[in-house]
């Protein structure tokens, strides 16, 4: 159980660090279905479509390996 929590924490840190690069490089985060909500002057991104596409890509990659 501890291994899974550690793996999840490391994956979240890596994805958080890489997400701005992915957004600029591939246009992720600006797809139709990704929401931008403004709350008290801040923009909050809710990337529904991007999450689904990344999930499908990782699933396909894991099945190939």
Question: Residue for token digits 């159980």?
Answer: 1
Question: Residue for token digits 């809710």?
Answer: 46
Taking the model in full, what pTM does it have? Answer: 0.58
Count the domains in the chain.
1
Question: What percentage of the chain reaches a pLDDT higher than 90?
Answer: 2
Question: 34-49: per-residue pLDDT in tens?
Answer: 888 888 888 777 778 8
pLDDT in tens, the chain (65 residues): 788 888 878 877 877 777 777 777 877 767 888 888 888 888 777 778 888 888 898 889 888 88
DSSP 8-state secondary structure symbol assigned to residue 1: -
Domain, as residue range, for 45: 2-64
User: Which pLDDT score, from 0 to 100, does residue 60 have?
Assistant: 92
Other beta carbons less than 10 A from residue 54's beta carbon: 15
Q: Which is nearest to 57 in space by CA: 26, 30, 21?
A: 26
């Amino acid at each position: 159980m501890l291994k899974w929590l550690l793996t999840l924490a490391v994956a979240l840190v890596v994805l958080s660090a890489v997400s701005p690069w992915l957004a600029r490089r591939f246009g992720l985060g600006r797809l139709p279905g990704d929401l931008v909500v403004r709350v008290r002057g801040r923009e909050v991104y809710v990337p529904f479509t991007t999450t689904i596409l990344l999930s499908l890509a990782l699933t396909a990659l894991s099945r190939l390996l």
